[in-house]
A and B are shown apart, each in its own frame.
Chain A
Amino acid sequence: MRIGSRELKLERRESLSGWQATGISILAILVALAIFSIIFILAGINPLTAYAEIFSYAFANPFVLPLTMNRFIFILLCTYAFIIPFAAGLWNIGMAGQLYAGSLTVYAVLLALGVKEFQSTQLPTTLVILMMLIAAMLGGAFIGGIAGFLKGKYNVNEIVVTMMLNFMTFWVVSDFIKEGGIFMNPGGRGESFELPPSLQPPLIMGVPFTIFIAIGVALLLYFVLRRTKIGYEIRAYGENPTAAAYAGISNFSIPLLVFIMGGALAGLAGYHYFAAVPGVYKIARTYGYFGDLAFYGIICGLISRGNPLAAIPVAFLFGGLSIGGRLVQGKLGMSFGVDYALLGVLMITLVAFQFFYRYKFIWENSQGEP
């Protein structure tokens, strides 16, 4: 494109600093909000008012903030479930299945301890909660590990396997909590039996303790991927499996390992929402919805470019908007699905703006005659 004697050119970036990436992402968010304003204008609502409502509701309202935080923790854990395999160049599309499996194993522990029957247990609460956490990780890791094993051993496409496992575990959960299933709620409401109050984990300012796990994992992952031997092996495999094999890095154990790690974290997300978030404390009837929500982990992982620290603000934004978007629907009387639409526009814009991670516009004085 030419304007006057200057020419707008697209050039490949040599490198991208963290700040440039942040700047591009913020710009993308602003552009997405600007684009979505059209919907508000068409509905006769001032977009500025609408956004003010959404943001103040999601991030400043003391009653809603814990809800936002719950979503945020959930999405963040799902993001890690994506990021770890992603560092090895593999795509985990199976957070949903892994978290269903995690939530099942959590309730299986309770079942085994007789909690369903007696509504209590003699073991110390801390121990039981620890067992539930470990069970959640094992459950998620098992489902994830299937994909990792098949990838490593037979080079079966991990996207297909993880996605199929989502459906499978969905129906397995459904079978367990339906009328007559072993996890069935005694009231038969199509959900699992409830966690007795004694096993409900403590809240810190209305937020479950899982937030410490989520933030801690971010720091740990950041360190592990960048500084450790295993992190190096994962990244080398992700960049170039052939070169990794040449250097002696196993093309079997790395896929298996990253999917086990990713699955374990998705399993924790399952524990978080179905055994730690106040007011839920059961595998809810709407568990499928959380499966959908888990997919935000993919988008957050892509936007943060696999950086576990960058994932924190991104997941926070998505958590907040998924809550705030709902409000617009009700409060401003907009049609159903506006929250999804808003998040959808945001995702598309953020992904589209990733173009600028690789390219930049430059102004150039064009010389000579045209």
Chain B
Amino acid sequence: MPACRSTSVYYNHIRSLEVIDITPIEYRLFRVTDKDSQTGIQDNVLLTEECPVQKVLIQDIKRGETILEARGITKRFPGVVANDQIDFKIRVGEIHAVLGENGAGKTTLMKILFGQYQPDEGEIFIGGEEVRFKSPLDAIDLGIGMVHQHRKLIPAHSVIENIILGHPHAGTILNLKRAEKEVLEICEKYGFSLDLNAKVWQLSEGEKQLVEIIKALYRGAEILILDEPSSALTPMETEKLLTSIKAMSRGDLAIVPFITHKLPIVLRISDRVTVLRKGKVVCCIDTSEATEQSLAKEMVGREVIFRIERTKVEKGETILQVDDLSAVSDKGVVALNGVSFSISEGEIFGVAGISGNGQRELVEALAGLRKPEGGSVWLDGEDITFADSLKRWQLGIGYVPADRIAMGSIADFSLVENVTMNYYFDHEYYRRGVLDTKKIRELTNDIIAEYDVVTPNADIVAKCLSGGNLQKLILARVLSRKPRLLIVDLPTQGLDVGATEFVRNKLIDAKKEGACVLLISEDLDEVLSLSDWVAPIYEGEFMGILPGEDAKRELVGAMMAGIHLDEESA
């Protein structure tokens, strides 16, 4: 009997399978009982456990019909139910935003849909067929693509090389010409423009993201999951991305962006929204029926105030004076090129810009972690240009770093020990070299209570805290020192609506108490709503310093992209 006469039987269709005869090896007889209890004898069954369902082509399903359905998805982790009976449907051609705070179970759901986790309960159907993913490879084979928040590209390779990496067609010998032709077809279909032969390191964040999207599409993705798609993009790039997403949805793709905040984006692009809270679906509505307020209320479970009124505080004396400060980056190139500014008591000075334009060098030079190449820094009339970071803490500089995990906290230290980070050098907290752990513990408990840090106790290690809670702890620790100058770098990055609101209010409180605040942010809304002064930064230089009330969104956006204030007004 020729080997080609084999019958494929899918794993999930079979109720029982009995081997009747296994000689000779190419010719086996099986008694197969399928789902409907119909028994039959089949020869040479190809039993494929790994990929039980054939790919459902999206073209076969009409626009507006369900392509992917998850029913009763439950996933438990020790101590928490991350996903609790989640029902979720995606239709062809829709943009279906999934909203939720940190820890609401978005990431878990996404990982289940992408095959990284297996659900404890519940089923996933694609085109009506039940599927089980053993790994992301199964999901990719069935047309699910995912673009992660953090780029997974090789910077030294060209765009096309990155796109074909891992593609089954790539094989041993690369056929770049053919690949290029196929990728160009995709670009044309959705109206993307991208130089396929550019190296990835030359691209902007937005272009890199596009490369990842094209990569997923080239791999055959029909359901595209985007994790925080706009988080690292400039306003202009975000516009471009939204246009691309719209174009893709017209091309009959189902798109699922997962978003923590930035509700306006959700409202603008999505067709439907599912909101998760504490592992459960709290609502699933058409976007046309939703408002920013209603979505935020669903996410957080209470009313959220969005517009923070800029509170004017009586201007006091100058605290921080920076003159012509320059610094080089880790790579040795000048990253901060002569910035000058001053901040007074009760002022928030907002530096708006996309990460990598010298903000890190500015902040580190002010915090004493990077030696300035030139210029000077004065705090309350004292020259601290070359003071070390310990000295600056003691002088009253408080710094909340952007990287909460690698710099702002010590993952394996308890919360008490993490609070100690800002107190071990304080004479009131040690005597004859021995730390007063009792006093620090009391302080930690106060912080936990006052800032509502969700934790069982003060002795658990910091890595057990969620991002928002960790940020609260760090901010609380720094603020409890009552700093004269508070430096906050991306204070609300990755935080949910509730935590963001909380952190912003704390910054305003600090200002009211007479501190001066240097706020570094990529979030234009944040800078504009909080700052008394706005300084858009581009390639290590301020493009101008605007009073808060004069800083208009479009103007600041243009300045962030490198247009100098003088050119703009001219």
Contact = CB atoms under 8 A, between A and B. Distances in A.
Interface of A: 14, 227-230, 232-233, 235-236, 239-240, 242-250
A305 to B, nearest CB: 13
Given A229-B433, A242-B407, A246-B399, A14 B413 contact: no
Contacts of B437: 227
A229 B407 contact: no
Given A14-B78, A246-B408, A229 B435 contact: yes
B369 interface: yes
A239 B462 CA distance: 12
Contacts of A245: 369, 389
B410 A236 contact: yes
Which 3 residue pairs spanning A and B have beta carbons closest together?
A248-B390, A247-B421, A248-B389
Interface stretch (B59-67, B175-183, B304-312, B422-430): B422-430
Contact of A242 (B390, B399, B406): B406
Interface string B391-412: 1110000010100001111111
Contacts of A247: 389, 393, 421-422, 424
**A interface SS class:** helix
A58 B365 CA distance: 60
Given A247-B389, A249-B390, 9 more contacts: A229-B424, A229-B434, A229-B435, A230-B433, A232-B420, A236-B410, A240-B406, A245-B369, A247-B393
Contacts of A244: 410
B413 A239 contact: yes
Interface residues of B, number: 31
Interface of B: 78, 367-369, 388-393, 399, 401, 406-413, 417, 420-422, 424-425, 430, 433-435, 437
A228 B433 contact: yes
B392, B393, B434 — which one has the most chain A CB atoms within 10 A of its CB? B434
Given A227-B434, A227-B435, A243 B410 contact: yes
A239 B389 contact: no
Contact of A236 (B78, B389, B390, B421): B421
A159 B244 CA distance: 52
B433 A243 contact: no
Nearest to B422: A247
Contacts of B393: 247-248
Nearest to A230: B433
A341 to B, nearest CB: 36
B407 A250 contact: no
Given A232-B417, A250-B390, A243 B406 contact: yes
B77 to A, nearest CB: 11
A58 to B, nearest CB: 37
B216 to A, nearest CB: 31
A145 B411 CA distance: 29
B490 to A, nearest CB: 15
B434 A246 contact: no
B424 A232 contact: yes
B423 to A, nearest CB: 9
B410 A239 contact: yes
A244 to B, nearest CB: 8
15 contacts: A229-B424, A229-B425, A232-B417, A235-B413, A239-B411, A243-B409, A243-B421, A245-B389, A246-B389, A246-B407, A247-B389, A247-B421, A247-B422, A248-B388, A248-B390
Nearest to B394: A248
A232, A239, A250 — which one has the most chain B CB atoms within 10 A of its CB? A232
A289 B390 CA distance: 45
Contacts, number: 68
A75 B434 CA distance: 29
A243 B408 contact: yes
A229 B410 contact: no
Nearest to B464: A14
Contacts of A242: 406-407
A242 B408 CA distance: 9
A9 B413 CA distance: 28
Nearest to A11: B78
A250 B388 contact: yes
Contacts of A240: 406, 410-411
A88 to B, nearest CB: 13
A368 to B, nearest CB: 10
Nearest to B403: A242
Given A14-B78, A239-B411, A246-B399, A232 B435 contact: yes
A14 B413 CA distance: 14
A11 B422 CA distance: 35
A227, A228, A246 — which one has the most chain B CB atoms within 10 A of its CB? A246
Contacts of A248: 368, 388-393, 425
A240 to B, nearest CB: 5
Contacts of B430: 228-229
A230 B420 CA distance: 12
A105 B350 CA distance: 60
Contacts of B434: 227-229
Contact of A243 (B78, B388, B407, B425): B407
A229 B401 CA distance: 23
B335 to A, nearest CB: 18
Contacts of A233: 424
Nearest to B429: A229
Contacts of B388: 248, 250
A227 B434 CA distance: 6
Nearest to B406: A242
B410 to A, nearest CB: 5
A258 to B, nearest CB: 16
Contacts of A14: 78
Contacts of B369: 245-246
Contacts of B399: 246
A306 to B, nearest CB: 13
A199 to B, nearest CB: 35
Contact of B413 (A229, A230, A236): A236
A239 B424 contact: no
Contacts of A229: 424-425, 430, 433-435
A240 B417 CA distance: 13
Nearest to A231: B435
A222 to B, nearest CB: 13
A239, A244, A248, A249 — which one has the most chain B CB atoms within 10 A of its CB? A248
Contacts of B391: 248
Contact of B412 (A228, A239, A246, A250): A239
A19 B551 CA distance: 61
Contacts of A239: 410-413
A246 B367 contact: yes
Nearest to A239: B410
B78, B417, B424, B425 — which one has the most chain A CB atoms within 10 A of its CB? B424
A235 B392 CA distance: 22
A216 B166 CA distance: 59
Contacts of B407: 242-243, 246
Nearest to B409: A243
B485 to A, nearest CB: 15
A240 B403 CA distance: 13
Nearest to B421: A247
Contacts of B421: 236, 243, 246-247
B435 A228 contact: yes
Contacts of B368: 248
A229 B437 CA distance: 10
A235 B411 CA distance: 12
A248 B399 CA distance: 11
A145 B423 CA distance: 28
B123 to A, nearest CB: 13
Contacts of B367: 246
A228 B409 CA distance: 19
Contacts of B408: 243, 246
Nearest to A242: B407
B391, B393, B410, B413 — which one has the most chain A CB atoms within 10 A of its CB? B410
Contacts of B78: 14
A152 to B, nearest CB: 14
A245 B401 CA distance: 12
Nearest to B391: A248
